[in-house]
Each structure stands twice: as C-alpha cells, then as structure tokens.
Structure 1
C-alpha cells in the first residue's frame, strides 16, 4: 500500500512538473509571438491602471505604428489601426519619445485629430500614451484610455510606464524571433527549390532528350513521330511551368537570402566537420544588394574553410550586426589559429595576402587575399584578430548601397 501510494505521489509530481513546463512553454511562445505579446500587454495595462481600455502598437515601418493588441474595446475600429508618426496621441508620443496624455481626446488642442471618429466610436475621453523602448530605440507605443473625460495624473502614468517598461525589449525579441523564423523558412524554401531542380528538373530534361532521340530514329513510323512531337511539346510546357514554380519558391529578398544562406553554410559545416557552428543576427540587418550579399557570403565561406583546415576548433560563431552605414560580419572560432594568419592587428589582411606569392602560397593566405580584394572593391574593410581566449576572428564590414 505504501509502495502504491509512493508511486501515485511520484506520478502526481511528474504531472505537476509537466504542467509547469507546459505553462512555461506557453509563456515563452507568447513572448516570441509579437501579436500575442501586444494583446497580453493590453490586458495588463487595463488591469493595472484600472482604466477602461488598453491597447498597444508596434513600429512596423520607420514612421508607422500599427495597433495589434487591444483590451476592453467594444468595436473593431481600433484593430490594426495605422498611426503615422506625429498623428494623434500615440503618434505624438512616438515623435516626442515621451509620455503624453489628454483629459478629453476629441477636444484636445495639442494633438491632431485624424482618428476622432474611431475615438468617438469607443466613447473615449481621457487617454495617455507611452513609447515602448529598446536600447533607446522606440519599437512601439502603449495606450490607456477612459470612457468619458477624466484627469489622468502622474500616478496613472507611472503605473502605465511600470507595466510597459519590459515590453520594449520583449517586443524587439519577438521581432528578432520572427525574422529568424522567416530566414529559416527562406533557407528551407531554397533547399527544396534546389532539390526539385536537381531531381524533377533533371528528370524532365532527360525525358525531353529521350523523346527527341526517338524522333531522330529512322525506324520510327511517321504516325509515332507526330505523337512524340506532341509529347515533347507537353514536356517542354511542363518544364516551363516547373521553372516558374521554382522561381516563386526561391523568391526571397537579398537580406533574407543572406541570413538563410549563412545559416545553411553553418549547418553544412557542422554536418561535415562535427564542429558546432552557429549564425546569429544581433540586430536588424540593413538592406544589401545581391552583390554585397555575395561578398559577405564569400568572406564567411572562406573563413569557415580555413577553420576547417587549420584551426582545430570546437565551435564557431558567425554574427551579423548593423554597424554605421553598413553590415559587419564576424566569424569567431576557439581553435589554435591558422598558419601565417595575422593576429592582434599585427598586419592587415592585404599585407597578409601580399606575402603569399607563387606556388608556395598557403590556401589560407590566398583565400584571405581574395576576401580582402572582394571587400575592398565595394569600399569595405577586413581584418583578422586573435581572441583573448584562443582562436581567431575574421571581421568584415561592407557599406550599404
């Protein structure tokens, strides 16, 4: 009996642990999904301020907020409402980068009134708005509102600020997670497109070639030749439709293609070498044209090749970050270094490449020189530095177009 009771207790304990893990998973999913995050924020605003409505907007273009979360609204007018910088109360909070409030929205003289019809449809009088900030950058705006005119003092503003203080960073994280997912999907689409091109595309080409060979056979009756020509036309038509489908499947923007390509390179490196390689985007990436993206890819691939051949590393991290008016990429390993590689700024990449001439040039020296030339041609810079804890880091910067 005691043993049975003990087993029951253990089972209940496991169930409780599972419930706890499921709750944590739900919380994480809510944080990483931007819309869920904004809606949860709106409910928290309403609960903590005691006002009638709470809603939240995310920055979706450089000068445009879109309301994606709401709580307490009776109609749909606020849902997905676009708010340009400077327009209405939220747009003013965005433009001034500080909290603003009005006792009666529609009669307020210090804001614009593009949204009065929406405000009236909800019976809103008093309203306040505070910017959502991540590292001094505005990523959205949160609102609290009361039906009917009211005086909203400093206490309510502090409550709203306290509720929304962590939301800016969470919203940034959710956006990053969304972009990582988009990049992963782009990589998978590219992989599928390549696989289909190499399999189905080759098969269609082979069928077409065989049909043409049969037509050229003098022993084939004329009636069959006519049918073969019809089959060849159908195969050609199918191949054309197939190519169009592949083009749509492989249709990604250059920056998505860059992130997807580098993640794919890191995954291939890990499968090939057994050394863990990761690619992380530390910030939103600037828009780069295909030629600059191809330069970044070439630099990273050359660095990975040298890590594989020479470094004896156990891990590699490829990081991407916006720097100045361009993109910085770093390939850092924890290995023993490469033969003849410049470290700690001892010499520039150009000097490193210039030292390796003739047939005696090492693969790392020739590759680094080629990378340096690629980056220099578009006005960028490349260097190799030693890490304090061992290994090397290849750093490249390419300017935006």
Structure 2
C-alpha cells in the first residue's frame, strides 16, 4: 500500500532519540527547549511552546487568549475537528465560515459578510481559528484588514503549513496571527511522533501557555505570588493540564527540523509532477494563490461528483493506493449537528467534501510510486 502520507526517519533521527534514552532526562529535559528554539529560529518567531499534540496547542492557545463560556470562536468546516473543539473545550460558542472554492481555505468574503451580520447583532467572534489547509496559507492580507476593523484575535492553525510563506514571511511569524499552531504528527511535514507547538510574538501569551501546559504550575521566583520557601517550592496559579512533550519526542522533532528544507523541496517537486501528470484528466488539481508558497502537506483533487468519488476511492484502495478524504465537514458531525448546524449551512465546504480525494504525497515518495498512483487513478477514472 502506498499511503497518502508517512514519516521519513533517518539514522540521525534514531541517534538523536538514542542519545536521550542514554541521558538522565526522558520527559521535560534539555531537548524540549532545543526543539522550541529550532522551530522558532526557523520560522522567525520570538517564542515557541512545545506540547504533546497540536490539539493541545490549540486548546492552550484559546485558554491563553482568555476564551471562556461567554466567548465566540469561529473556524472553517474544512478541517480536522480539533480546530473547532478547542473553543468548545473552553466552553465557547463555536461558529463556522465557508471556504474559498479555489484554495479550500477560509473565504475572506464570506468572513466579511458574517462579521457584518454579527456586528449588527452584537455577536462578533472573540477569536477566529484560520486553517492553512493542505499547507497553503490563507489570504492573510484580507484577514488582517477584517481583524483591524472588527477586533477579533487570530489563531493560525498551521498544522499543515510549517515552511509555508505568505508575502515572503514564514508561517509562524505572520504579524496578523496572535498565535500560530504547528502539528508534528507522523503524516505531517516533520514529526516528533506525536507533538505540537504554539508560536507567538507576545511574551505574555507564551508565558501563559507554558504555565498551562504543566498543570498551571509556576516555579519562577520572580512570578510567585507568595514568598519563596526554597528550591522545592512551586505554586499552582491556574487550572492547567498535563500537555507536556517528552525529551524523546523533542529530540526527534529537532532532528527532523534540520532536514525540513529537503522535505519541503521534495513535496513541492512531487506536487509539480502531479500538476503535469494530471493535467489531461477530468479532475481539478489544487490551485495556488499568488503571494503565498504552500508547504504542500496534502495534494487534494476534486472529482466530478460524489457518486464518482466513492467508486474511484474504492478502486484506488483496491489497487494499493492509500488515498484519503480531507475533510468531512466539521459542522455535519453528530456533535455539531446537536448544536444546531445542518446540511446547507456552508455549501462550498460541503460540495468540496463530497468530491475531494487526497493523493499520496510525502518526502520519501519516489517518482516511480507517484507514476503508479497516477496510472491507477487514470484507470479508476476511465
């Protein structure tokens, strides 16, 4: 089976993990800050906080921004459920914005319409979670203008997009984002087995996330609320969680970051080959918005209709091609239907979800294997 995505593990990665296993630290040791610094330096962000998953990072981002039961958080339906669930974890009301029919990212025109209506109702969102789908950055120039007008905070869910750029600035350091979140799941561009990270230019947000990732505990003598009793002393200053990443994971992640440019170059070359090889087929290849450079985490194509999608999906799987669907619309999941969402609420996202297939793309995918994918796809479409 050729999977839609998979990790690339080198001898250097194995050696980095083995070094931790032979050290005195397995959990929160020196490898964690090294990993944070490696990612922060790569994207150009002042602060980075590593955690055990991107879901945890999204939750911490909402918590650090003060999201609570009286808050409203908006995101897109075309994403993994964590982009919406992070607001629900904090008790917030969650809403959605439809996607652009070409980029499959948040549609700034639909966002503008919904913000205007919400403003008239006195129900503006406190936080918007944008999603850089498939590695392509959203239209952040348009989003920045709306943010300045309506005053919401922005979490950039860049789980797909480490290494992507927008107007020559790397995702993770975009001024419009209050917090950016990366994922290091094995199918992502770099992996720490499981892991995530939030990045920000705001030292207060970084400090809050660091505290909340470890039960809300503070050990810095300067920040203690009561007199310091000694080296053993600590305070729980907030209700936090155990979202800590281990040194084992951080060592793997830092080793992977050292190879990120090679990973990105290979993914972009594979995407360009797909563009050429699929040009004559009856499908729509992913469109790239000018002004941004995608990290090419996914290669989603659109088929003619949903009936055809099921048949093509099953034929490809039977041929050993591990295609996947990204994503089922979040608002149509049973949990969100019970909150009042229904089919037809976000028609662009729903139409896209019924016709999309993600083709295999990952750094170790060979040209020969990619040719095999294309041949099987041609046969399935014939």
TM-score bracket relative to the smaller structure: under 0.3
The structure richer in helix per residue is 1
TM-score, reference length from structure 1: 0.27
**Bigger relative contact order, structure 1 or 2, given CA contacts below 8 A and separation 6+?**
2
